[in-house]
Amino acid sequence: MYNSVEDLIQHPVFYFFSEISKIPRGSGNEKAISDYLVQFAKERHLEVIQDAALNVIIKKPASPGYEHVPTLVIQGHMDMVCEKNQGTVHDFEKDPIQLRIVEDMLYATDTTLGADNGVAVAYALALLDAEDIPHPALEVVITTEEETTMGGALAVDPANFEGKILINIDSEEDHKLLVSSAGGIKTTQILPIVWEEAPKNTMAYSLSVKGLKGGHSGMSIHKGRGNSNKIMGRILAGLADDVPYFLQQINGGAATNAIPRETDAVILAAENSIEKLEAKIQEWNTILQNELKTSDPGVHISLHKVEPEVTNVFSEQTKQKAITSLLLIPNGIQTMSMDIEGLVESSTNLGVVTTTDTELLLESDARSAVKSLKEDIVRRASLVAETLGCSFKTENDYPEWPYNPDSKIRKVFEKVHREKYNKDAEIIAVHAGIECGIFIDKIPGLDAISIGPDMYNVHTPNEHLSIPSTINNWEYFLSVLMEMKSFDWKE
């Protein structure tokens, strides 16, 4: 067991993980980390390409004796989801991630860790840096904006690659081989706000939904965790039945691919209705703590007076449209796979709600392993917008990754796992967006697989990475590289 981060970074993988953790790399803020990767390659006299999307491709020739082995593409993404606990002082634009060890797990300090997908970057750099690890010719590609738009992978020029075998290192479960994933698309409903002057003799209150666990909107959608944006819609609708109020803003969630943990609204109510309002909030606490006692026992609804004075509010029609939108926009699991027991086939997550000076934006992340089902989710979401007189847009559409029954790289991983651990690796598919689908779409005949160590609660400030699993998965990865030399690639 490692007792300190200083001890841990003696291992090459964790050394590079620590180095990149010093560099802010939230999605859309990847220039510094991209430049770091370029400089890393130049210092080692490796061929490097940095494209307009800030993707970085680093190439390294085959080790002696590996010249006949097919070129291998190793892939991950450099960006991370930036989430922090409320009250945490951390600027993701400039502050390093503060690493800490708890037992055999690596955590950040009240922020996301960035193991998703810093692990891939660390593995790649450790491999490229080493002089004593045998390997085939390597084409390492580290992409940008995977967590938001998949824009980096979508912008990759396939002409920069010779390899037809891809190992993606963006999986989150050791001893499991990921061979298929869902496609996805971002949808946004745009509700124009009609403002009115705030009525006199009212008090403004901040209404908050907090204490939810959240999680990755693909990997955790089956866990039944509460969505703070949807919960806020229920509360606002319920209050409207009993306590007259005016609505001034709603803001919740940090990313469309994260189940929102916190949502805040500002409401105005008559001064003589505060006791009734507080009683209704307590009722909602009881209701939600009962509903979510297993998935989110920490859920809590709070009400606090707002200072300074609020001067404008939504019109009654805007308020009703906002509440209706929160209630009716599709959310959660839509269909389950009939082929793989327990696998979510299609889902959608109302991840971000934002109030601007002119609009209320409601952003969702739809996923499906079946293209037609993804299109159905989008159609239903667009009908909600159309019915309410809102505009609607889609973006960041990326393809699913279909299972390849004849994958040769899967056979190599299976053989090595059987020999190394005396048991078969588990073959899995996930309900999450993996860049493999984009690369397969760009490079005809590409044979892909995804691996990774055990990590937990990604996209939340409780994200943590298993240290022994990271080391084990690294050693398994190196054993596969060695096996590639003797494998019959022509069979």
Residue 441 catalytic? Answer: no
369 — phi, psi (to 5°)?
-80, -10
Q: Is 91 a catalytic residue?
A: no
End-to-end CA distance of the chain: 43
Where does residue 81 rank: exposed (0-12), middle (13-18), buried (19+ CB within 10 A)?
buried
CA 348 and chain centroid, separation: 13
CA separation (Å) from 298 to 41, 65, 262, 369, 371? 46, 57, 12, 32, 36
Cβ atoms within 10 Å, residue 1: 9
Given the residues 116, 145, 146, 345, select the one marked as catalytic.
Answer: 146
Nearest to 73 by CA among 483, 449, 452: 449
Dist CA 315 CA 195 (whole Å): 6
User: From the CB of residue 487, how many other CB atoms can be counted at a distance below 10 Å?
Assistant: 17
Vertex 330, ends 328 and 334: CA angle to 5°?
140
Contact between 90 and 110 under an 8 Å Cβ cutoff? The reply is yes
- Check 30, 79, 173, 400 and give the catalytic one: 79
For residues 155 and 55, the answer to whether their CB atoms sit within 8 Å is yes
Q: Which residues are catalytic?
A: 79, 146
